[in-house]
A and B are shown apart, each in its own frame.
Chain A
Protein backbone atom coordinates (compact mmCIF):
# COMPACT_ATOMS: atom_id res chain seq x y z
CA UNK A 1 0.00 0.00 0.00
CA UNK A 2 3.04 2.26 0.18
CA UNK A 3 2.35 5.57 -1.45
CA UNK A 4 4.62 6.24 -4.41
CA UNK A 5 6.44 9.57 -4.49
CA UNK A 6 4.52 10.29 -7.66
CA UNK A 7 1.18 9.88 -5.88
CA UNK A 8 2.27 12.02 -2.94
CA UNK A 9 2.75 14.93 -5.33
CA UNK A 10 -0.42 14.23 -7.34
CA UNK A 11 -2.38 13.71 -4.14
CA UNK A 12 -1.22 17.01 -2.67
CA UNK A 13 -2.12 18.69 -5.96
CA UNK A 14 -5.62 17.24 -5.83
CA UNK A 15 -6.00 18.04 -2.14
CA UNK A 16 -4.96 21.67 -2.54
CA UNK A 17 -7.15 22.28 -5.58
CA UNK A 18 -10.17 20.48 -4.12
CA UNK A 19 -9.75 22.45 -0.90
CA UNK A 20 -9.65 25.71 -2.84
CA UNK A 21 -12.66 24.71 -4.93
CA UNK A 22 -14.54 23.69 -1.79
CA UNK A 23 -13.71 26.97 -0.08
CA UNK A 24 -14.91 29.09 -2.98
CA UNK A 25 -18.06 27.00 -3.49
CA UNK A 26 -19.10 26.62 0.13
CA UNK A 27 -18.44 30.28 0.92
CA UNK A 28 -21.47 31.02 -1.28
CA UNK A 29 -23.86 28.79 0.66
CA UNK A 30 -26.27 31.11 2.53
CA UNK A 31 -26.70 30.79 6.31
CA UNK A 32 -30.23 29.65 5.65
CA UNK A 33 -28.85 26.36 4.32
CA UNK A 34 -26.02 25.78 6.79
CA UNK A 35 -27.71 22.89 8.56
CA UNK A 36 -28.55 21.03 5.32
CA UNK A 37 -24.97 21.77 4.21
CA UNK A 38 -23.64 20.07 7.34
CA UNK A 39 -25.89 17.09 6.79
CA UNK A 40 -24.77 16.83 3.17
CA UNK A 41 -21.03 17.09 3.86
CA UNK A 42 -21.61 14.58 6.60
CA UNK A 43 -22.83 12.13 4.01
CA UNK A 44 -19.85 12.99 1.80
CA UNK A 45 -17.39 12.39 4.63
CA UNK A 46 -18.61 8.79 4.66
CA UNK A 47 -16.58 8.38 1.46
CA UNK A 48 -14.39 6.14 3.62
CA UNK A 49 -17.04 3.62 2.53
CA UNK A 50 -14.84 3.17 -0.56
CA UNK A 51 -11.91 2.07 1.60
CA UNK A 52 -14.15 -0.04 3.83
CA UNK A 53 -15.61 -1.94 0.85
CA UNK A 54 -12.14 -2.90 -0.39
CA UNK A 55 -11.05 -4.05 3.08
CA UNK A 56 -14.19 -6.15 3.52
CA UNK A 57 -14.13 -7.53 -0.02
CA UNK A 58 -10.50 -8.64 0.07
CA UNK A 59 -10.68 -10.31 3.50
CA UNK A 60 -7.02 -10.02 4.46
CA UNK A 61 -7.73 -11.94 7.69
CA UNK A 62 -10.63 -12.78 9.96
CA UNK A 63 -10.22 -9.73 12.15
CA UNK A 64 -9.71 -7.45 9.14
CA UNK A 65 -12.97 -8.79 7.73
CA UNK A 66 -14.79 -8.10 11.01
CA UNK A 67 -13.45 -4.55 11.22
CA UNK A 68 -14.23 -4.03 7.54
CA UNK A 69 -17.76 -5.28 8.11
CA UNK A 70 -18.30 -2.79 10.94
CA UNK A 71 -16.73 -0.01 8.84
CA UNK A 72 -19.02 -0.69 5.86
CA UNK A 73 -22.10 -0.68 8.12
CA UNK A 74 -21.03 2.54 9.88
CA UNK A 75 -20.30 4.43 6.68
CA UNK A 76 -23.43 3.14 4.92
CA UNK A 77 -25.54 4.44 7.82
CA UNK A 78 -23.91 7.80 7.26
CA UNK A 79 -24.36 7.88 3.51
CA UNK A 80 -27.97 6.68 3.47
CA UNK A 81 -29.08 8.60 6.55
CA UNK A 82 -27.16 11.73 5.55
CA UNK A 83 -28.66 12.05 2.07
CA UNK A 84 -32.19 11.22 3.25
CA UNK A 85 -32.10 13.74 6.06
CA UNK A 86 -30.66 16.49 3.84
CA UNK A 87 -33.43 15.96 1.33
CA UNK A 88 -36.06 15.83 4.07
CA UNK A 89 -34.85 19.16 5.42
CA UNK A 90 -34.66 20.81 2.01
CA UNK A 91 -38.18 19.73 1.16
CA UNK A 92 -39.35 21.89 4.09
CA UNK A 93 -37.77 25.06 2.74
CA UNK A 94 -40.36 26.91 0.73
CA UNK A 95 -41.01 30.46 -0.38
CA UNK A 96 -43.98 32.56 0.58
CA UNK A 97 -47.25 31.13 -0.64
CA UNK A 98 -50.46 33.04 -1.02
CA UNK A 99 -51.55 33.96 2.50
CA UNK A 100 -54.16 31.51 3.62
CA UNK A 101 -57.18 32.88 5.49
CA UNK A 102 -56.60 32.05 9.12
CA UNK A 103 -59.43 30.11 10.61
CA UNK A 104 -60.19 30.59 14.27
CA UNK A 105 -58.26 27.91 16.15
CA UNK A 106 -59.79 25.47 18.57
CA UNK A 107 -58.38 27.40 21.53
CA UNK A 108 -60.37 30.47 20.57
CA UNK A 109 -63.66 28.89 21.50
CA UNK A 110 -62.65 28.73 25.16
Chain B
Protein backbone atom coordinates (compact mmCIF):
# COMPACT_ATOMS: atom_id res chain seq x y z
CA UNK B 1 0.00 0.00 0.00
CA UNK B 2 3.01 2.26 0.31
CA UNK B 3 3.45 4.30 -2.86
CA UNK B 4 7.16 4.07 -3.55
CA UNK B 5 6.91 6.33 -6.59
CA UNK B 6 6.79 9.34 -4.27
CA UNK B 7 9.60 10.54 -1.98
CA UNK B 8 7.32 10.27 1.06
CA UNK B 9 6.69 6.61 0.27
CA UNK B 10 10.43 5.95 0.22
CA UNK B 11 10.83 7.69 3.58
CA UNK B 12 8.04 5.59 5.08
CA UNK B 13 9.58 2.44 3.62
CA UNK B 14 12.98 3.24 5.12
CA UNK B 15 11.46 4.06 8.51
CA UNK B 16 9.73 0.67 8.45
CA UNK B 17 12.99 -1.03 7.52
CA UNK B 18 14.75 0.64 10.47
CA UNK B 19 11.84 -0.37 12.71
CA UNK B 20 12.10 -4.00 11.59
CA UNK B 21 15.83 -3.94 12.30
CA UNK B 22 15.11 -2.61 15.77
CA UNK B 23 12.86 -5.62 16.38
CA UNK B 24 15.50 -8.08 15.19
CA UNK B 25 18.14 -6.48 17.40
CA UNK B 26 15.78 -6.50 20.36
CA UNK B 27 15.40 -10.28 20.04
CA UNK B 28 19.10 -10.79 19.43
CA UNK B 29 19.96 -8.92 22.61
CA UNK B 30 17.45 -11.01 24.57
CA UNK B 31 19.83 -13.95 24.18
CA UNK B 32 21.82 -12.98 27.27
CA UNK B 33 20.79 -11.39 30.54
CA UNK B 34 23.37 -8.55 30.54
CA UNK B 35 22.27 -7.26 27.10
CA UNK B 36 18.55 -7.96 27.49
CA UNK B 37 17.56 -4.48 28.65
CA UNK B 38 19.31 -3.03 25.63
CA UNK B 39 17.01 -5.31 23.64
CA UNK B 40 13.93 -3.70 25.14
CA UNK B 41 15.30 -0.30 24.17
CA UNK B 42 15.90 -1.44 20.58
CA UNK B 43 12.33 -2.71 20.42
CA UNK B 44 11.00 0.60 21.69
CA UNK B 45 13.01 2.53 19.09
CA UNK B 46 11.67 0.17 16.44
CA UNK B 47 8.12 0.91 17.52
CA UNK B 48 8.62 4.67 17.60
CA UNK B 49 9.99 4.57 14.03
CA UNK B 50 7.09 2.38 12.91
CA UNK B 51 4.57 4.82 14.38
CA UNK B 52 6.27 7.86 12.83
CA UNK B 53 6.32 6.12 9.45
CA UNK B 54 2.63 5.28 9.75
CA UNK B 55 1.63 8.80 10.69
CA UNK B 56 3.26 10.01 7.46
CA UNK B 57 0.92 7.79 5.41
CA UNK B 58 -1.22 9.77 2.98
CA UNK B 59 -4.95 10.02 3.58
CA UNK B 60 -4.91 10.64 7.33
CA UNK B 61 -7.12 13.66 7.98
CA UNK B 62 -6.68 16.39 10.59
CA UNK B 63 -9.57 14.93 12.59
CA UNK B 64 -7.89 11.57 12.16
CA UNK B 65 -4.71 12.83 13.82
CA UNK B 66 -6.79 14.14 16.70
CA UNK B 67 -8.54 10.81 17.17
CA UNK B 68 -5.19 9.03 16.98
CA UNK B 69 -3.70 11.26 19.68
CA UNK B 70 -6.68 10.62 21.97
CA UNK B 71 -6.63 6.85 21.39
CA UNK B 72 -2.86 6.65 21.96
CA UNK B 73 -3.22 8.58 25.21
CA UNK B 74 -6.04 6.35 26.46
CA UNK B 75 -4.07 3.23 25.53
CA UNK B 76 -0.96 4.53 27.26
CA UNK B 77 -2.98 5.52 30.34
CA UNK B 78 -4.18 1.92 30.64
CA UNK B 79 -0.92 0.32 29.53
CA UNK B 80 1.36 2.08 32.01
CA UNK B 81 -0.35 0.82 35.19
CA UNK B 82 -0.79 -2.60 33.58
CA UNK B 83 2.94 -2.70 32.98
CA UNK B 84 4.11 -1.32 36.28
CA UNK B 85 1.58 -2.40 38.89
CA UNK B 86 0.96 -6.05 38.07
CA UNK B 87 2.75 -8.26 40.63
CA UNK B 88 5.22 -10.86 39.35
CA UNK B 89 3.09 -13.72 40.64
CA UNK B 90 0.28 -12.57 38.30
CA UNK B 91 2.59 -12.54 35.27
CA UNK B 92 1.09 -15.58 33.45
CA UNK B 93 -2.42 -14.11 33.41
CA UNK B 94 -1.04 -10.66 32.58
CA UNK B 95 0.69 -12.05 29.49
CA UNK B 96 -2.38 -14.03 28.48
CA UNK B 97 -4.52 -10.92 28.83
CA UNK B 98 -2.28 -8.83 26.62
CA UNK B 99 -2.36 -11.52 23.92
CA UNK B 100 -6.08 -10.88 23.93
CA UNK B 101 -5.61 -7.13 23.35
CA UNK B 102 -3.19 -7.64 20.45
CA UNK B 103 -5.49 -10.17 18.83
CA UNK B 104 -8.49 -7.87 19.25
CA UNK B 105 -6.69 -5.06 17.42
CA UNK B 106 -5.58 -7.34 14.57
CA UNK B 107 -9.08 -8.80 14.21
CA UNK B 108 -10.78 -5.40 14.16
CA UNK B 109 -8.45 -4.02 11.49
CA UNK B 110 -9.16 -7.09 9.35
CA UNK B 111 -12.91 -6.59 9.71
CA UNK B 112 -12.72 -2.89 8.78
CA UNK B 113 -10.55 -3.65 5.72
CA UNK B 114 -13.05 -6.28 4.57
CA UNK B 115 -16.13 -4.09 4.81
CA UNK B 116 -14.32 -1.11 3.31
CA UNK B 117 -13.26 -3.03 0.22
CA UNK B 118 -15.87 -5.76 -0.32
CA UNK B 119 -16.71 -7.07 -2.84
CA UNK B 120 -13.56 -5.97 -4.72
CA UNK B 121 -11.27 -8.41 -2.94
CA UNK B 122 -8.98 -10.83 -4.74
CA UNK B 123 -8.75 -14.52 -3.88
CA UNK B 124 -5.39 -14.43 -2.11
CA UNK B 125 -6.27 -11.33 -0.12
CA UNK B 126 -9.59 -12.83 0.94
CA UNK B 127 -8.04 -16.11 2.05
CA UNK B 128 -5.41 -14.35 4.16
CA UNK B 129 -7.97 -11.89 5.51
CA UNK B 130 -10.28 -14.73 6.51
CA UNK B 131 -7.50 -16.60 8.25
CA UNK B 132 -6.40 -13.42 9.98
CA UNK B 133 -9.87 -12.65 11.31
CA UNK B 134 -10.43 -16.22 12.56
CA UNK B 135 -7.00 -16.29 14.23
CA UNK B 136 -7.60 -12.90 15.85
CA UNK B 137 -10.97 -14.03 17.19
CA UNK B 138 -9.72 -17.35 18.55
CA UNK B 139 -6.67 -15.82 20.21
CA UNK B 140 -8.93 -13.16 21.74
CA UNK B 141 -11.30 -15.55 23.51
CA UNK B 142 -8.63 -18.21 24.04
CA UNK B 143 -6.36 -15.76 25.84
CA UNK B 144 -9.22 -14.38 27.93
CA UNK B 145 -10.12 -17.95 28.93
CA UNK B 146 -6.50 -18.73 29.79
CA UNK B 147 -6.21 -15.54 31.84
CA UNK B 148 -9.47 -16.39 33.63
CA UNK B 149 -8.24 -19.87 34.47
CA UNK B 150 -4.89 -18.57 35.72
CA UNK B 151 -6.56 -15.87 37.80
CA UNK B 152 -8.93 -18.60 39.08
CA UNK B 153 -12.00 -16.69 37.99
CA UNK B 154 -12.77 -19.79 35.93
CA UNK B 155 -12.26 -23.35 37.20
CA UNK B 156 -8.65 -24.33 36.46
CA UNK B 157 -9.18 -28.04 35.99
CA UNK B 158 -9.71 -29.43 32.49
CA UNK B 159 -13.37 -29.58 31.44
CA UNK B 160 -14.18 -32.34 29.01
CA UNK B 161 -17.36 -33.60 27.41
CA UNK B 162 -18.10 -36.46 25.02
CA UNK B 163 -17.42 -35.62 21.38
CA UNK B 164 -15.31 -32.63 22.35
CA UNK B 165 -12.74 -33.06 19.61
CA UNK B 166 -15.43 -33.64 17.01
CA UNK B 167 -17.16 -30.43 18.10
CA UNK B 168 -13.88 -28.49 17.89
CA UNK B 169 -13.07 -29.76 14.42
CA UNK B 170 -16.63 -29.12 13.27
CA UNK B 171 -16.43 -25.47 14.33
CA UNK B 172 -13.04 -25.03 12.67
CA UNK B 173 -14.22 -26.92 9.57
CA UNK B 174 -17.25 -24.68 9.08
CA UNK B 175 -15.06 -21.58 9.48
CA UNK B 176 -12.60 -22.84 6.86
CA UNK B 177 -15.50 -23.76 4.57
CA UNK B 178 -16.88 -20.23 4.84
CA UNK B 179 -13.48 -18.69 4.11
CA UNK B 180 -13.27 -20.81 0.94
CA UNK B 181 -16.77 -19.64 -0.01
CA UNK B 182 -15.70 -16.04 0.58
CA UNK B 183 -12.68 -16.52 -1.67
CA UNK B 184 -15.04 -17.60 -4.44
CA UNK B 185 -17.55 -14.87 -3.65
CA UNK B 186 -16.06 -11.96 -1.65
CA UNK B 187 -19.39 -10.12 -1.64
CA UNK B 188 -20.93 -12.57 0.82
CA UNK B 189 -20.86 -10.03 3.64
CA UNK B 190 -22.93 -12.07 6.14
CA UNK B 191 -20.26 -14.76 6.20
CA UNK B 192 -17.68 -12.51 7.88
CA UNK B 193 -19.56 -11.99 11.16
CA UNK B 194 -20.25 -15.74 11.16
CA UNK B 195 -16.56 -16.66 10.86
CA UNK B 196 -15.79 -14.19 13.65
CA UNK B 197 -18.30 -15.91 15.93
CA UNK B 198 -16.92 -19.32 14.96
CA UNK B 199 -13.41 -18.10 15.76
CA UNK B 200 -14.55 -16.78 19.13
CA UNK B 201 -16.28 -20.08 19.94
CA UNK B 202 -13.24 -22.09 18.84
CA UNK B 203 -11.02 -20.07 21.15
CA UNK B 204 -13.21 -20.99 24.11
CA UNK B 205 -13.43 -24.67 23.10
CA UNK B 206 -9.66 -24.82 22.67
CA UNK B 207 -8.95 -23.75 26.24
CA UNK B 208 -11.64 -25.47 28.33
CA UNK B 209 -9.99 -28.92 28.23
CA UNK B 210 -6.58 -27.47 29.19
CA UNK B 211 -5.40 -27.98 32.76
CA UNK B 212 -3.13 -25.76 34.80
CA UNK B 213 0.16 -27.53 34.10
CA UNK B 214 -0.43 -27.36 30.35
CA UNK B 215 -0.85 -23.59 30.49
CA UNK B 216 2.81 -22.85 29.63
CA UNK B 217 2.45 -24.65 26.31
CA UNK B 218 -0.90 -23.10 25.51
CA UNK B 219 0.18 -19.54 26.34
CA UNK B 220 3.20 -20.02 24.09
CA UNK B 221 0.95 -21.39 21.36
CA UNK B 222 -1.43 -18.41 21.62
CA UNK B 223 1.67 -16.22 21.33
CA UNK B 224 2.51 -17.98 18.05
CA UNK B 225 -1.06 -17.56 16.75
CA UNK B 226 -1.02 -13.86 17.63
CA UNK B 227 2.17 -13.52 15.59
CA UNK B 228 0.67 -15.37 12.66
CA UNK B 229 -2.38 -13.15 12.70
CA UNK B 230 -0.15 -10.04 12.65
CA UNK B 231 1.82 -11.47 9.72
CA UNK B 232 -1.42 -12.27 7.87
CA UNK B 233 -2.57 -8.70 8.41
CA UNK B 234 0.76 -7.65 6.90
CA UNK B 235 -0.16 -9.52 3.69
CA UNK B 236 -3.64 -7.96 3.64
CA UNK B 237 -2.21 -4.44 4.02
CA UNK B 238 0.86 -5.17 1.82
CA UNK B 239 3.03 -4.11 4.73
CA UNK B 240 6.43 -5.76 5.20
CA UNK B 241 6.93 -4.44 8.71
CA UNK B 242 3.85 -6.29 9.96
CA UNK B 243 5.05 -9.44 8.23
CA UNK B 244 8.48 -9.22 9.87
CA UNK B 245 7.16 -8.51 13.37
CA UNK B 246 4.48 -11.19 13.00
CA UNK B 247 7.00 -13.78 11.79
CA UNK B 248 9.36 -13.01 14.70
CA UNK B 249 6.52 -13.26 17.20
CA UNK B 250 5.19 -16.41 15.59
CA UNK B 251 8.53 -18.24 15.66
CA UNK B 252 9.11 -17.16 19.24
CA UNK B 253 5.80 -18.64 20.34
CA UNK B 254 6.46 -21.77 18.31
CA UNK B 255 9.92 -22.30 19.83
CA UNK B 256 8.60 -21.80 23.36
CA UNK B 257 5.77 -24.28 22.84
CA UNK B 258 8.21 -26.84 21.42
CA UNK B 259 10.49 -26.36 24.45
CA UNK B 260 7.52 -26.85 26.79
CA UNK B 261 6.23 -29.93 24.98
CA UNK B 262 9.67 -31.53 24.98
CA UNK B 263 10.05 -30.85 28.68
CA UNK B 264 6.87 -32.84 29.28
CA UNK B 265 7.62 -35.49 26.66
CA UNK B 266 4.31 -34.75 24.96
CA UNK B 267 3.21 -33.75 21.49
CA UNK B 268 1.18 -30.69 20.52
CA UNK B 269 -1.71 -32.93 19.60
CA UNK B 270 -1.57 -34.53 23.02
CA UNK B 271 -1.57 -31.19 24.86
CA UNK B 272 -4.38 -29.71 22.78
CA UNK B 273 -6.64 -32.69 22.41
CA UNK B 274 -5.40 -35.14 25.02
CA UNK B 275 -7.54 -33.95 27.96
CA UNK B 276 -4.66 -34.90 30.21
CA UNK B 277 -6.54 -34.55 33.48
CA UNK B 278 -9.04 -37.21 32.52
CA UNK B 279 -6.44 -39.87 31.81
CA UNK B 280 -4.68 -38.97 35.01
CA UNK B 281 -7.78 -39.42 37.18
CA UNK B 282 -8.20 -42.95 35.89
CA UNK B 283 -4.58 -43.77 36.56
CA UNK B 284 -4.73 -42.33 40.07
CA UNK B 285 -7.68 -44.53 40.91
CA UNK B 286 -5.73 -47.67 40.07
CA UNK B 287 -2.86 -46.86 42.32
CA UNK B 288 -2.65 -48.56 45.64
CA UNK B 289 -0.73 -47.78 48.77
CA UNK B 290 2.85 -46.74 48.09
CA UNK B 291 4.30 -47.40 51.53
CA UNK B 292 4.82 -45.17 54.49
CA UNK B 293 6.10 -41.64 54.69
CA UNK B 294 8.35 -40.00 57.23
CA UNK B 295 7.72 -36.47 58.35
CA UNK B 296 10.15 -34.14 60.05
CA UNK B 297 9.63 -31.35 62.55
CA UNK B 298 10.92 -27.85 61.76
CA UNK B 299 13.59 -28.39 64.37
CA UNK B 300 14.92 -31.57 62.74
CA UNK B 301 14.67 -30.13 59.24
CA UNK B 302 16.53 -26.97 60.26
CA UNK B 303 19.27 -29.04 61.88
CA UNK B 304 19.74 -31.19 58.77
CA UNK B 305 19.84 -28.17 56.47
CA UNK B 306 22.33 -26.39 58.67
CA UNK B 307 24.73 -29.31 58.80
CA UNK B 308 24.78 -29.79 54.99
CA UNK B 309 27.41 -28.55 52.58
CA UNK B 310 25.32 -28.32 49.42
CA UNK B 311 21.57 -27.69 49.38
CA UNK B 312 19.55 -27.57 46.17
CA UNK B 313 16.15 -25.87 46.24
CA UNK B 314 13.55 -27.11 43.74
CA UNK B 315 10.77 -24.54 43.40
CA UNK B 316 7.40 -25.30 41.83
CA UNK B 317 4.02 -23.73 41.28
CA UNK B 318 3.23 -24.23 44.99
CA UNK B 319 5.91 -21.65 45.80
CA UNK B 320 4.20 -19.16 43.51
CA UNK B 321 0.78 -19.86 45.03
CA UNK B 322 2.09 -19.41 48.58
CA UNK B 323 4.11 -16.34 47.45
CA UNK B 324 7.01 -17.94 49.27
CA UNK B 325 9.83 -16.80 46.95
CA UNK B 326 11.08 -14.07 49.31
CA UNK B 327 11.13 -16.45 52.27
CA UNK B 328 12.94 -19.03 50.16
CA UNK B 329 15.63 -16.46 49.39
CA UNK B 330 15.87 -15.54 53.08
CA UNK B 331 16.35 -19.18 54.00
CA UNK B 332 19.08 -19.45 51.36
CA UNK B 333 20.71 -16.36 52.84
CA UNK B 334 20.78 -17.71 56.41
CA UNK B 335 22.08 -21.03 55.11
CA UNK B 336 24.80 -19.23 53.17
CA UNK B 337 25.74 -17.42 56.37
CA UNK B 338 26.20 -20.87 57.93
CA UNK B 339 28.59 -21.78 55.13
CA UNK B 340 26.09 -23.92 53.23
CA UNK B 341 26.20 -23.64 49.45
CA UNK B 342 22.72 -23.14 47.96
CA UNK B 343 21.65 -23.65 44.35
CA UNK B 344 18.28 -23.67 42.65
CA UNK B 345 17.16 -26.35 40.20
CA UNK B 346 14.63 -25.08 37.68
CA UNK B 347 12.55 -27.56 35.71
CA UNK B 348 11.48 -26.12 32.34
CA UNK B 349 7.75 -26.61 33.02
CA UNK B 350 7.73 -25.58 36.68
CA UNK B 351 5.03 -22.96 37.08
CA UNK B 352 2.43 -21.71 34.66
CA UNK B 353 4.47 -20.15 31.87
CA UNK B 354 7.92 -20.59 30.34
CA UNK B 355 10.53 -19.23 32.75
CA UNK B 356 7.98 -18.54 35.52
CA UNK B 357 10.22 -19.66 38.41
CA UNK B 358 13.19 -17.64 37.12
CA UNK B 359 11.17 -14.44 37.19
CA UNK B 360 9.78 -15.09 40.67
CA UNK B 361 13.21 -15.83 42.10
CA UNK B 362 14.70 -12.84 40.32
CA UNK B 363 11.99 -10.75 41.97
CA UNK B 364 13.15 -12.13 45.33
CA UNK B 365 16.65 -10.95 44.34
CA UNK B 366 18.13 -14.40 43.87
CA UNK B 367 21.17 -13.92 41.62
CA UNK B 368 20.44 -15.65 38.32
CA UNK B 369 23.76 -17.50 38.25
CA UNK B 370 22.41 -19.62 41.13
CA UNK B 371 19.46 -20.73 38.99
CA UNK B 372 20.41 -23.91 37.15
CA UNK B 373 18.54 -25.57 34.29
CA UNK B 374 17.62 -29.24 34.55
CA UNK B 375 20.50 -30.37 32.29
CA UNK B 376 23.06 -28.46 34.33
CA UNK B 377 21.95 -29.64 37.76
CA UNK B 378 21.01 -33.27 37.10
CA UNK B 379 24.62 -34.61 37.03
CA UNK B 380 25.26 -32.82 40.34
CA UNK B 381 22.53 -34.46 42.42
CA UNK B 382 24.69 -37.37 43.69
CA UNK B 383 26.91 -34.78 45.41
CA UNK B 384 23.99 -32.91 46.95
CA UNK B 385 23.35 -33.30 50.68
CA UNK B 386 19.79 -32.01 50.84
CA UNK B 387 17.24 -31.26 48.13
CA UNK B 388 14.54 -28.94 49.38
CA UNK B 389 11.42 -29.31 47.24
CA UNK B 390 9.17 -26.27 47.66
CA UNK B 391 5.80 -26.66 45.98
CA UNK B 392 7.01 -28.88 43.13
CA UNK B 393 5.59 -32.33 42.58
CA UNK B 394 5.40 -34.08 39.22
CA UNK B 395 8.76 -32.68 38.05
CA UNK B 396 10.59 -34.66 40.77
CA UNK B 397 8.57 -37.89 40.51
CA UNK B 398 10.88 -40.83 39.69
CA UNK B 399 7.90 -42.83 38.31
CA UNK B 400 8.39 -40.78 35.14
CA UNK B 401 11.48 -42.91 34.52
CA UNK B 402 10.01 -46.40 34.86
CA UNK B 403 6.22 -46.52 35.42
CA UNK B 404 4.97 -47.10 31.87
CA UNK B 405 1.33 -46.77 32.91
CA UNK B 406 1.89 -43.37 34.49
CA UNK B 407 0.60 -40.31 32.60
CA UNK B 408 3.92 -38.61 33.22
CA UNK B 409 5.97 -41.56 31.92
CA UNK B 410 8.90 -40.36 29.81
CA UNK B 411 8.84 -36.79 31.10
CA UNK B 412 12.39 -35.64 31.88
CA UNK B 413 12.61 -35.00 35.62
CA UNK B 414 15.01 -33.52 38.15
CA UNK B 415 16.88 -36.51 39.60
CA UNK B 416 16.38 -35.49 43.22
CA UNK B 417 16.27 -39.11 44.37
CA UNK B 418 20.02 -39.31 43.67
CA UNK B 419 20.74 -36.82 46.48
CA UNK B 420 21.53 -37.96 50.02
CA UNK B 421 18.34 -36.53 51.47
CA UNK B 422 15.15 -35.07 50.01
CA UNK B 423 13.01 -32.69 52.00
CA UNK B 424 9.55 -32.01 50.62
CA UNK B 425 7.61 -28.98 51.80
CA UNK B 426 3.98 -29.68 51.13
CA UNK B 427 0.61 -28.62 52.43
CA UNK B 428 -0.89 -32.12 52.48
CA UNK B 429 -0.53 -35.48 50.76
CA UNK B 430 -2.80 -34.40 47.88
CA UNK B 431 -1.37 -35.57 44.51
CA UNK B 432 0.00 -33.04 42.00
CA UNK B 433 -1.52 -31.88 38.74
CA UNK B 434 -1.10 -35.20 37.01
CA UNK B 435 -3.08 -36.88 39.79
CA UNK B 436 -0.39 -39.50 40.32
CA UNK B 437 1.11 -40.43 43.64
CA UNK B 438 4.68 -39.27 43.88
CA UNK B 439 7.11 -42.07 44.56
CA UNK B 440 9.62 -39.65 46.01
CA UNK B 441 7.37 -38.99 49.03
CA UNK B 442 7.64 -42.65 50.01
CA UNK B 443 11.37 -42.91 49.42
CA UNK B 444 13.33 -43.82 52.55
CA UNK B 445 15.59 -40.79 51.98
CA UNK B 446 12.63 -38.43 52.01
CA UNK B 447 11.41 -36.29 54.86
CA UNK B 448 8.06 -34.55 54.54
CA UNK B 449 7.69 -31.12 56.12
CA UNK B 450 4.00 -30.32 56.21
CA UNK B 451 2.62 -26.79 56.09
CA UNK B 452 2.12 -23.75 53.88
CA UNK B 453 5.36 -23.09 51.97
CA UNK B 454 5.69 -19.54 53.27
CA UNK B 455 5.10 -20.53 56.91
CA UNK B 456 7.47 -23.49 56.68
CA UNK B 457 10.19 -21.27 55.22
CA UNK B 458 9.68 -18.82 58.09
CA UNK B 459 10.04 -21.62 60.65
CA UNK B 460 13.15 -23.01 58.96
CA UNK B 461 14.73 -19.55 58.86
CA UNK B 462 14.12 -19.25 62.60
CA UNK B 463 15.59 -22.68 63.21
CA UNK B 464 18.70 -22.12 61.12
CA UNK B 465 19.39 -18.52 62.10
CA UNK B 466 18.22 -18.94 65.70
CA UNK B 467 20.56 -21.84 66.40
CA UNK B 468 23.46 -19.86 65.05
CA UNK B 469 22.70 -16.97 67.38
CA UNK B 470 22.47 -19.15 70.46
CA UNK B 471 25.81 -20.73 69.58
CA UNK B 472 27.56 -17.48 68.89
CA UNK B 473 26.45 -15.89 72.15
Contacts and interface: CB of A to CB of B under 8 A. Distances in A.
A64 B237 CA distance: 16
Given A74-B102, A84-B80, A3 B242 contact: no
A104 B469 contact: yes
B30 A36 contact: yes
A75 B117 CA distance: 23
Nearest to B62: A57
A64 B36 contact: no
A19 B251 contact: yes
Interface stretch (B204-212, B277-285, B349-357, B401-409): B349-357
B5 interface: no
A37 B102 contact: no
Contacts of A55: 108-109, 112-113
Interface string B101-143: 1101110110111011100111011001000000000000000
Contacts of A2: 117, 120-122, 125
B152 interface: no
**Interface footprint category on A:** 35 or more
B109 to A, nearest CB: 4
A32 B368 contact: yes
Contacts of B86: 85
A106 to B, nearest CB: 10
B27 A90 contact: no
Given A48-B106, A83-B44, A25 B79 contact: no
Contact of A42 (B53, B99, B237): B99
Contact of B72 (A32, A36, A61, A76): A76
A19 to B, nearest CB: 4
B54 A54 contact: yes
Contacts of B23: 44
B242 A47 contact: yes
Interface in A38-52: 38-52
A80 B83 contact: yes
Contact of A77 (B36, B79, B115, B367): B79
Nearest to A86: B40
Given A34-B358, A49-B105, A70-B105, 5 more contacts: A42-B223, A50-B242, A59-B67, A82-B83, A86-B43
29 contacts: A19-B250, A23-B255, A31-B355, A32-B358, A35-B353, A39-B91, A44-B26, A47-B242, A50-B53, A51-B239, A54-B237, A55-B112, A56-B67, A57-B64, A57-B68, A61-B116, A63-B115, A67-B111, A70-B104, A72-B71, A78-B98, A78-B101, A83-B47, A89-B359, A94-B368, A96-B367, A100-B333, A104-B465, A104-B466
Interface of A: 1-4, 7-8, 10-11, 14-15, 18-19, 21-23, 25-61, 63-65, 67-97, 99-102, 104-105, 107-108, 110
